[in-house]
A and B are shown apart, each in its own frame.
Chain A
Amino acid sequence: MDSRLTQFDELAGADGCTRAPYRKLSQWLAATPPELLASRREQAELLFRRIGITFAVYGAQEATERLIPFDILPRILSRGEWTTLEKGLIQRVAALNAFLADIYSAGDILKAGIVPADLVYRNPAYCPDMAGRRVPYDIFVHIAGVDIVRTDDQGFFVLEDNARTPSGVSYMLENREVMMRLFPELFALHRVAPIENYPDELLATLRSVAPPRANGDPTIVLMTPGQYNSAFYEHSFLADKLGVELVEGRDLFVRDDVVFMRTTEGPRRVDVIYRRIDDDFLDPLCFRPDSALGVAGLMGAYHAGNVTLANAVGAGAADDKAMYTYMPEIIRFYLGEAPLLQNVPTFRCREADALAYVLDRLDELVVKEVNGSGGYGMLVGPHATRAQIEEFRAKLKAQPQNFIAQPTLALSTCPIALASGVAPRHVDLRPFVLQGANGARVVPGGLTRVAMTEKSLVVNSSQGGGTKDTWVIDDAWVDEEAAGQA
């Protein structure tokens, strides 16, 4: 069956009857004149631009600060859908953490032959410097962004785990604020679960993993590569909401294995660093010697247990696309449970049978580089030109271990408001999972990314994708309303 034929729209459903979570929205849309939507769209753009929510795109000279397109129609999940999702997310992150703690110590899963050892140890994101080291509470991934897609009414698939420095949470929070300013009437119609507590939950998570010598009152900082980084807006936004200093490498220094920041009152000790900078740039003494973004000696302080880094160094070893294919086995191995969220069926091109299958069907499949991210280094077969396909065929044959392939999924669509009216577009969802010493937390919802171009499946903001506010609304209330109208 060609899955592309069965498009699932989250509002219209498979049969064209409006799905329950969208009933109110659908009625409201029907009663709302297009001019009103148009004027709210303009207001939204104005708000975003004034607040300065921009996103830098690498390589685009003229547009170094660009707005991420924002769609004013909410994406809606019912409480029931969310509960399933939340459990699965927490399970997934627990398994990622157990896996990382294992591969940097005993390596039980490798000995058990479940994950090939070379795939772990030869992974560029595997950090040999972390081998044999423990991290506080064995938590490597404190903040995870798990990309979720759906293809029908039934379930959710995990498309990708992001265990390094996932971004987008500021858009999740700002989208909600803007929506509440633009559409008070829609919020009055729905009971939308709040997400504004995310910064507090994040703070609690970061505090929980502080080194013991911080005595329960740790100094936390957020470390950014600087204002030219694509996600700088998010860094400053989060630091502000957390009430912590936003530091760059040059604001920190290490003395006797202790990290300090330079303040107007002299050096101040730092206990927890929420770092939004990649492993490679953290410490020029340990990683890239040419990095001016990091702090010399930081890894020494880290290994001495004097500072906690979130996420831990080397966490990327769990989130590449090759490891992804083993996630169901990883969950079973560490947790003894069946995975609650499914993987998208994936072919590991390193395996000869799979490679042959993939090469035969390049025009149907999505091929991804194992270490690629942000929608770069990806082939969407059905939308690719002959030449692009041949180019990928050559790459695949040369280094099959660098690629995985997945069927082109019929990603669900949601309505978006365009100048020309309301139309469906493909969406995914990135909920943010927090894992602290005192438990896991997920605020209801996440960042919905939307492919603004018709039929496009690429939702990445670096590729022109947009975002939407994501609502989790109460089932009981939906049902009651439905009953009342029946």
Chain B
Amino acid sequence: MLSRTADNLYWLARYMERADFLARAIQASRRLAALPKAYGGDETEWESVLLSSGAALAFENSGRPVDEGNVVGFLTFAPENPGSIRNCLEQARANARAVRTALTIEMWESINDAYLEMRALESRGGVPCAQELARFLELIKQTSLTYDGGAYRTMLRNDAYWFSRVGLFIERADNTARLLDVKYHVLLPEKEVVGGSLDYFQWSAILRAVSAHTAYHWVYRTSMKPWLVADLLILRPEMPRSLISCYESIVRNLDNLARAHGRQGASQRHARGVYGRLEKLTMESVFQGGLHEFVQSFIAENNRLGALISEQYLF
């Protein structure tokens, strides 16, 4: 396939995944910020959302004070924030439009529908009210489901599919890792307080941001423990947003590409290396070496994979 097409598909998948993550993260934070202060509900939550979405610097440059309205506005509809949901969706659609031929009609329609709805909302002008905002976030989550389902159910299993899957899982791993990076201090084991912790609601917000709130209970069948939350997001293969699960998928899809093209390359080797290390890892060793350090180095490794893929396939 054309390198440019692969590039577009890869970024299309990344933008869709990012938009979905942002929508979930905002919803989780609104929930947390709405709690009384004593339960962890305060304005620092909005700083951490800015950090985990990678928009902190851009927001600072905008000169606005950090509060719910400003942050949510910046992350959803702000045209000046390159990583806002509206820009992700617009980028996703531009990429999709450039590779219409590589998408199935279902995938295109889901993106285009969401885009048109967003444009309709914007064309009404003014700041969207809380209800509109809630509907918009739902729409984004819904769109990512339809898009993803469309890809899964209708795309030919060829390099177009594999490139878009690789993009999706690299972005997802990045998002999960950033979330961990921002929240690591509440996930450390020494934080446990007998009789429950005020961080409880922080943990549940993290789980909600990656739609794992229910999954946690099914996996551990115990009350919420911060190290188990970290375990779920890093090492549990059955958790679809855990780092290890993302890398299992990345390795599989890159292998499919390598098989179809008849050659293995640096990106396959790198991905297998990351996956292999995750497989051997235990949470004890993660905490020993420092959760923060671990996450930082993972983010760097994940970025490195992105660069290697560009080099190997995308020119």
A binding-site residues for B, Cβ under 8 Å = 49-52, 227, 232-233, 236-237, 239-240, 245-248, 250-251, 261-265
User: Does B227 count as interface, using CB distance less than 8 angstroms?
Assistant: no
B binding-site residues for A, Cβ under 8 Å = 1-6, 94, 97-98, 100-101, 105, 108-109, 112-113, 116, 159, 163, 257, 261, 313-315
Report B158 CB to chain A, min CB distance, Å. Answer: 11
Structural contact, A262 and B4, CB atoms closer than 8 A: yes
Q: In chain B, what residue has the closest Cβ to A268?
A: B2
| A240, A248, A262, A265: the one within 8 Å of B101 (CB) | A240
Given contacts A49-B116, A52-B100, A240-B100, contact A262 B3 (CB under 8 A): yes
Closest 4 CB pairs of A and B: A240-B101, A236-B100, A264-B313, A262-B3
Q: In chain A, what residue has the closest Cβ to B100?
A: A236
Structural contact, B4 and A248, CB atoms closer than 8 A: yes
Given contacts A236-B100, A263-B3, A265-B261, contact A52 B112 (CB under 8 A): yes
Structural contact, A264 and B159, CB atoms closer than 8 A: yes
Across-interface contacts of A49 in B (CB, < 8 A): 116
User: A237 to B3, alpha carbons, bound, how many Å?
Assistant: 19
Sample of 16 A–B contacts (CB below 8 Å): A50-B109, A51-B108, A227-B98, A232-B97, A236-B101, A239-B101, A240-B101, A245-B5, A246-B2, A251-B2, A261-B2, A263-B2, A264-B1, A264-B257, A264-B314, A265-B261
Given contacts A227-B97, A251-B4, contact A262 B315 (CB under 8 A): yes
Q: In chain B, what residue has the closest Cβ to A50?
A: B109
Structural contact, A52 and B4, CB atoms closer than 8 A: no
User: A248 to B7, alpha carbons, bound, how many Å?
Assistant: 14
Report A268 CB to chain B, min CB distance, Å. Answer: 9
Given contacts A264-B314, A265-B261, contact A52 B97 (CB under 8 A): yes
Q: In chain B, what residue has the closest Cβ to A239?
A: B101
Report B4 CB to chain A, min CB distance, Å. Answer: 5
Given contacts A52-B100, A236-B100, A264-B261, contact A247 B112 (CB under 8 A): no
User: A264 to B260, alpha carbons, bound, how many Å?
Assistant: 11
Report A232 CB to chain B, min CB distance, Å. Answer: 8
Across-interface contacts of A239 in B (CB, < 8 A): 101
User: A251 to B261, alpha carbons, bound, how many Å?
Assistant: 19
Structural contact, A50 and B315, CB atoms closer than 8 A: no
Across-interface contacts of A227 in B (CB, < 8 A): 94, 97-98
User: A50 to B105, alpha carbons, bound, how many Å?
Assistant: 10
Given contacts A50-B112, A52-B108, A264-B261, contact A246 B3 (CB under 8 A): no
Report A240 CB to chain B, min CB distance, Å. Answer: 4
Structural contact, B109 and A51, CB atoms closer than 8 A: yes
Since A49-B116, A51-B105, A264-B313 are in contact, a sample of 8 more A-B pairs with Cβ atoms closer than 8 Å, ordered by chain A residue number, is A50-B112, A50-B113, A227-B94, A245-B1, A245-B2, A251-B2, A251-B4, A264-B2
User: A248 to B101, alpha carbons, bound, how many Å?
Assistant: 14
User: A247 to B3, alpha carbons, bound, how many Å?
Assistant: 10
Across-interface contacts of A236 in B (CB, < 8 A): 97, 100-101
Q: In chain A, what residue has the closest Cβ to B5?
A: A245
Structural contact, A246 and B1, CB atoms closer than 8 A: no
Report A61 CB to chain B, min CB distance, Å. Answer: 15
Across-interface contacts of B105 in A (CB, < 8 A): 51
User: A232 to B97, alpha carbons, bound, how many Å?
Assistant: 9
Q: In chain A, what residue has the closest Cβ to B115?
A: A52
Across-interface contacts of B315 in A (CB, < 8 A): 262
Report B91 CB to chain A, min CB distance, Å. Answer: 13
Report A127 CB to chain B, min CB distance, Å. Answer: 28
Across-interface contacts of B261 in A (CB, < 8 A): 264-265
Across-interface contacts of B5 in A (CB, < 8 A): 245
Across-interface contacts of A248 in B (CB, < 8 A): 4
Given contacts A52-B100, A227-B97, contact A264 B6 (CB under 8 A): yes
User: A232 to B96, alpha carbons, bound, how many Å?
Assistant: 13
User: A246 to B100, alpha carbons, bound, how many Å?
Assistant: 10
Across-interface contacts of B6 in A (CB, < 8 A): 264
User: A245 to B98, alpha carbons, bound, how many Å?
Assistant: 12
User: A339 to B186, alpha carbons, bound, how many Å?
Assistant: 85
Across-interface contacts of A265 in B (CB, < 8 A): 261
Q: In chain A, what residue has the closest Cβ to B94?
A: A227
Q: In chain B, what residue has the closest Cβ to A248?
A: B4
Q: In chain A, what residue has the closest Cβ to B262?
A: A265
Report A64 CB to chain B, min CB distance, Å. Answer: 12
Q: In chain A, what residue has the closest Cβ to B7?
A: A264
User: A52 to B103, alpha carbons, bound, how many Å?
Assistant: 13
User: A233 to B112, alpha carbons, bound, how many Å?
Assistant: 14
| B2, B163, B257: the one within 8 Å of A262 (CB) | B2
User: A337 to B2, alpha carbons, bound, how many Å?
Assistant: 47
Report A150 CB to chain B, min CB distance, Å. Answer: 36
Of listed B100, B113, B313, residue having the most chain A CB within 10 A? B100
User: A250 to B113, alpha carbons, bound, how many Å?
Assistant: 30
Of listed B4, B313, B315, residue having the most chain A CB within 10 A? B4
User: A262 to B4, alpha carbons, bound, how many Å?
Assistant: 8
User: A184 to B108, alpha carbons, bound, how many Å?
Assistant: 25
User: A264 to B101, alpha carbons, bound, how many Å?
Assistant: 16
User: A263 to B257, alpha carbons, bound, how many Å?
Assistant: 13
User: A231 to B132, alpha carbons, bound, how many Å?
Assistant: 35
| A51, A52, A264: the one within 8 Å of B3 (CB) | A264
Report A225 CB to chain B, min CB distance, Å. Answer: 12
Of listed B1, B2, B94, residue having the most chain A CB within 10 A? B2
Report A219 CB to chain B, min CB distance, Å. Answer: 12
User: A240 to B102, alpha carbons, bound, how many Å?
Assistant: 8
Across-interface contacts of A52 in B (CB, < 8 A): 97, 100, 108, 112
User: A262 to B6, alpha carbons, bound, how many Å?
Assistant: 11
Q: In chain B, what residue has the closest Cβ to A236?
A: B100
Across-interface contacts of B2 in A (CB, < 8 A): 245-247, 251, 261-264
User: A485 to B109, alpha carbons, bound, how many Å?
Assistant: 45
User: A407 to B68, alpha carbons, bound, how many Å?
Assistant: 68
Structural contact, A250 and B4, CB atoms closer than 8 A: yes
Structural contact, A246 and B101, CB atoms closer than 8 A: yes
Report B147 CB to chain A, min CB distance, Å. Answer: 14
User: A237 to B103, alpha carbons, bound, how many Å?
Assistant: 11
Across-interface contacts of A245 in B (CB, < 8 A): 1-2, 5, 101
Across-interface contacts of B100 in A (CB, < 8 A): 52, 233, 236-237, 240
Across-interface contacts of B98 in A (CB, < 8 A): 227
Report A103 CB to chain B, min CB distance, Å. Answer: 36
User: A247 to B116, alpha carbons, bound, how many Å?
Assistant: 27
